[in-house]
Every structure is written in C-alpha cells, then in structure tokens.
Amino acid sequence: METKNLGFNSKLIHSGQFHDEFGSATVPIYQTSTFSFRNADHGAACFAGEDDGFIYTRLGNPTIGALEDAVSDLENGYKGIATASGMGAVTSVYFGMLGAGAHMVAHNAVYGPSRMVMETLFKKFGAESTWVDATDAQNVIDAIQDNTKLIYLETPANPTMGITDIEAVVKIAHDKGIPVCVDNTFSSPYLQKPLDLGVDIVLHSMTKFINGHADIVAGMVVTKTEKYYSEIRGAMMNIGSNMDPHQAYLVLRGLKTLAIRIERAQANAMKVANYLEAHPKIEWVKYPGLKSHPQYELAKKQMNGPGSMISFEVKGGLKAGKILMDNVHLALLAVSLGGVETLIQHPASMTHSKIPKADREKAHITDGLVRLAIGIEDVEDIIADIDQALAKI
C-alpha cells in the first residue's frame, strides 16, 4: 500500500509491510542465504541490475528490504541500508564517504567507538578527522579544510546530551558542497527527522529505540536522495555488514510500537529529570526537556520531544556516582539504551573509556557523568529506586 502520505503512527504499522501469497499479516522471515534464478538469463539480469530479483542475502533479502523501506519511509528518505549493528551503519558511512586523504569534521561527543574507529582504523587507511564542539556551529566552520568530505553529527550527543543546530550546520556545509550525516539514534525518527532539516545521510543504532526490546543489535543508514546511496550500500555489501533476516523480523516487530514506547519513556524521563534537578545531592542534570539545558530552545525547535536519555553528576563526582550505580535495584547497571527497561551506566569507564581522558574532558564527558536511559516502568518505581540509592551516599 502507498504509505507516503500517512501519519507517522500509521506508517509505523504499514510502511514496508507486504503480504505474501498466503495473506500473512506480518512480513515472513525469509531465512535463506541465496535465491534461485528462473534461468541463466534471469540470473544475469539480476546481477546486471536490469531485474530487481533477489540474489544473495548479503546483497538483499525480502525481510530486510521490508525494514529498509519502513525506516526510510519514517525518515522521509530515498532508501534504507540495513546493517548488522549500529557500528555497521557508522562504518558503512565512513567507508562509503571517505578514503585516503579525505577529512571529516565531527562533533566531539559521540558514541565512543564511532570516534575511536575513525581515529584508529580509518586513520591507518589515511583518512583524517577533526573533533569539535559542534553545539557552536562556528567551530564546525573553523575546522573545515579543502579536503573535508563529510560532516558527522550526533544530536542529542551520547552521553553529554549536547544539541547541534542541524539547519545551521547544513547551511555552512552545503555552501561548501560538503554532505552532512546525523546519527539520529537518541531521537529516532519519531522525535527528529534530520533529512527534513536538510541533512544528506541519517543513521541509527536500531539496537536502541527502533527495536526497543534489548534483544538484538542492528543498524540502518538512510540517504535523502540517490546521491551517496550506492557508495554506502556498496560498502555495506562488500564489507559484509549486512543484517540477518531474523534480526530484520525482530526489528520490524519492535518498530510498530516505537511511538507509544517513546511517549511513555519520555513522560517518565521528564519526571525523573525534574526529580534529579531538585535533589540536593545532584550537582547538575542535562536533559533537553529542562529549561536549564543550554540548548533548550533549539531542542524545542528541531525535535518533537526531549526523549528519554538523561546525563547528570552526583555531588562528590565519580565516587558518589559509583555508590548510586552500585545500589540501584530496578535500573540495570548496563550499557545500551532505548529499550523498555531503565538502564544506568558510567560513560568514562564504560561506553567512552577508549577515548583518552583529555579528549573526553574537552567533550564535557566528565569522570563523574552518569547516564540514565529511562524505560517504560511506573515512574514512581524508577524514582523510588534512584532515591533509595542516593540515600546511601
């Protein structure tokens, strides 16, 4: 069915869905590595791109294709490229867009491995990167070089919750002919649509909100137009970062409740953020729904809601933060986010530990920063859990 003009909630249920010859209500799992051709000419036509028949699951598969179409539709994009993980999406973009002698300007607070893979592996192959505080667009302008081939943003950023003015950066970049990529993991297309704000490439760790149930890892890239699509898809297929059909099926299932899960988690997060901000043992809280967030107005302008990720620091820094993390019972002390359960973790020693301390500090990832991913439990229970743990300090 044509879904382009449907509302977001209707798209969540119907985009990408097809019904097989038995009239199945959900997209079946095509658990096959390869597809037989009708005859030799058909096989040749599939390889030549003259027939859109499936060839081999690393290159494409009906279940995976349904998910690619669904997420692309939700992001108002051209086409999706599903990947084995969020890092598969990040590296497919790097491989597709950069090469020896190419330079990338990026926000300095991003998911740790998204930065470290650039500064280690891609550096070995001759690609350079400059990491700046992109919450001030001037810093992005100042870092652009003649060989800059990509501007890479993550907003809200993991784990600082810093917010970049997407439209301002797109304007600067496009004036110089440079494409912009946004990692939209923290918002999902429900809360933010970077492609509508002029961005060229959007990516997700679908391990998080899009799948939403903490039971698989998965990623997705969506491009705004045909430009850049083939390069990134080619990279994904050749490095073998493809998704598995069973994984695609699970994400298709989780995706349907994206909006109602986010609404609930976000309402909970607003209450938790208010609770933390009023607590005498808390030094600071960063949540885009709080007026105290430095980009509160910008968040209201470019996002449809502040989401459910909160960063904060307990008075007494890391030592006090550890007491909190060691004493929660309902919240799991675990990395990841965007699932139905509340998680707490310590970026400096966990998700961002591979980034040198000096670079972490420049990016405002302090040693005392604690990150909460709020789930959809009863908010009274989440707050009671944090409250009893804070009382131990």
CA dist list (Å): 25 to 28, 310, 337: 9, 37, 29
Provide, rounded to whole angstroms, the least separation between the CB of residue 86 and ligand LCS: 2
Binding flag, residue 85, ligand LCS (CB under 6 A): yes
Binding flag, residue 154, ligand LCS (CB under 6 A): yes
Which residue pairs from 384-388 have beta carbons closer than 8 angstroms and sit at least 24 positions apart in sequence? Answer: 384/330, 385/328, 385/329, 385/330, 385/331, 385/342, 386/272, 386/275, 386/276, 386/324, 386/328, 386/331, 387/275, 388/327, 388/329
Per-residue contact flags (x/-) with ligand LCS for residues 341 to 360, judged by CB under 6 A: ----------x---------
Binding flag, residue 335, ligand LCS (CB under 6 A): yes
Provide, rounded to whole angstroms, the least separation between the CB of residue 105 and ligand LCS: 18
Binding flag, residue 86, ligand LCS (CB under 6 A): yes
Interface positions, 101-120, toward ligand LCS (CB under 6 A): 111, 114
Binding flag, residue 155, ligand LCS (CB under 6 A): no
Distance CA 231, CA 79 (A): 13
For 106-163, give the DSSP string: EESSS-HHHHHHIIIIIHHTT-EEEEE-TTSHHHHHHH--TTEEEEEEESSPTTT---
Looking at beta carbons only, is 245 or 347 nearer to ligand LCS? Answer: 347
Distance CA 257, CA 210 (A): 9
Catalytic residue among 56, 58, 300, 362: 58
Looking at beta carbons only, is 144 or 208 nearer to ligand LCS? Answer: 208
3-class DSSP state for residue 354? coil
Provide, rounded to whole angstroms, the least separation between the CB of residue 352 and ligand LCS: 9
Binding flag, residue 207, ligand LCS (CB under 6 A): yes
Active-site residue flag, 183: yes
Active-site residue flag, 58: yes
Q: Which residues pair with 205 in a beta bridge?
A: 219
Q: Which residues contact 198 (CB under 8 A, 6 or more apart)?
A: 166, 167, 170, 171, 174, 180
Binding-site size for ligand LCS (CB under 6 A) equals 18
CA atoms within 13 A on the CB side of 301: 11
Interface positions, 160-199, toward ligand LCS (CB under 6 A): 183, 185
Catalytic residue among 193, 208, 261, 360: 208
Looking at beta carbons only, is 213 or 279 nearer to ligand LCS? Answer: 213
Looking at beta carbons only, is 76 or 336 nearer to ligand LCS? Answer: 336
Interface positions, 224-263, toward ligand LCS (CB under 6 A): none
- From 86-94, 166-174, 297-305, 359-367, give the range in contact with ligand LCS by CB under 6 A: 86-94
Q: Which residues contact 302 (CB under 8 A, 6 or more apart)?
A: 163, 165, 166, 167, 192, 197
Looking at beta carbons only, is 29 or 332 nearer to ligand LCS? Answer: 332
CA atoms within 13 A on the CB side of 167: 9
Exactly one of 91, 155, 158, 164 binds ligand LCS (CB under 6 A); that residue is 158
Distance CA 305, CA 190 (A): 9
Would you name the residues annotated as active-site residues? 58, 111, 183, 208
Binding stretches for ligand LCS (CB under 6 A):
85-87, 90, 111, 114, 154, 158, 183, 185, 205, 207, 217, 219, 335-337, 351
